[in-house]
Structure 1
Amino acid sequence: MKEADELFHEMKEKGLNPNALTYVTLMSGHGKIGNYRESVKVYCEMINEGLVPTTGTYNVLINGFSKVGKMAQARELLKEMQLRGALPNSSTYDILISGLCDLSNQPELDRASKMSCLTEVKNLLLEMSDKQLTPSETTVHNISSMFAKRGKKFDAHQFSKGLFKRNNI
């Protein structure tokens, strides 16, 4: 990422104005290595340059936070996204739900926190359903596994049955 950052700054020094895709690419790179602070810094710079973030921009940021278990920050980005007029899509919710499922599988997480993840997943699924968005197969699998690991195999089955029925899957 050091080379990408250097190239980015060199572009600007030579008078080349990075476009939104350049910023998003840089955010994505930082997110992939867990450097979410730098991703946010690049995002803020993008905003200051007058570029408008898209749903894809927010998905990159939300994914970065989700991968490192910073779900409160990821959820805040969802709120900001909506305030700025960018609409969350299925991928946005898939990222958030998968992040919560991953977090709930952490052995050091206490029972109350794991149940909180489960509740948040249910709330996100309801939001998706209200917006007529369908979770990906991977997300459905992650959710079913999360239920099953909590000793709620019946709930996992009921969840899958209800989800597929609601969304005609």
Structure 2
Amino acid sequence: MSIEFQISKPVLTWIADIQAKDVHTLAQEFVSDEKKIENFLNGLVTKTQALKLAKLAKIPFGFLFLDKPPVITRPTLPDFRNTLVAEPLSNDFYEVLEDINNKIDWYKNFLKEEDILDKLDFVGRFNYKKSTAEYVAKDIAASIGYNIHTGLSKINHKNTYFSELVSKFENIGILIFSE
């Protein structure tokens, strides 16, 4: 005998919406028997299905048993995309953003613990209204100890160039995110 759980229809619909699917399509991914699909559509799911739903929605298991879907707040971000009908930012985007923000917080704490944070003299050095891009770029190159004229001639591959720059930036206390 398997254990069954009752999930509210609004929560089930919310999970389907997160996946950009209708509830019936979601049900078909979880069960193949038409009678069991009807049970699923009414919110009656097995333990395994409930666990998969929670994982799919990336929510704690207990959220499945709420009467209404949880309100998940997302940071408000300015949208600078140049299109009239921009797709909403995806859950994947917000996961990556949260991961980066966590890493930035960790790095700030690390710099504080190492008593380095206040010693990064390049932070806030320029007035963006008065400094030219060329002047700032030259200062950045000097800060990391890189001569663009001689450095570029030594590079034989873009990955080598990128790795060298990342290393130089990290040596002065800048955290680089790359894929």
| TM-score scaled by length of structure 2 | 0.20
Q: What TM-score do the two structures reach when normalised by structure 1? A: 0.21
* Structure of higher RCO (CA pairs closer than 8 Å, 6+ residues apart): 2
Which structure: greater helix fraction?
1
Structure exhibiting the larger radius of gyration computed from Cα positions = 2
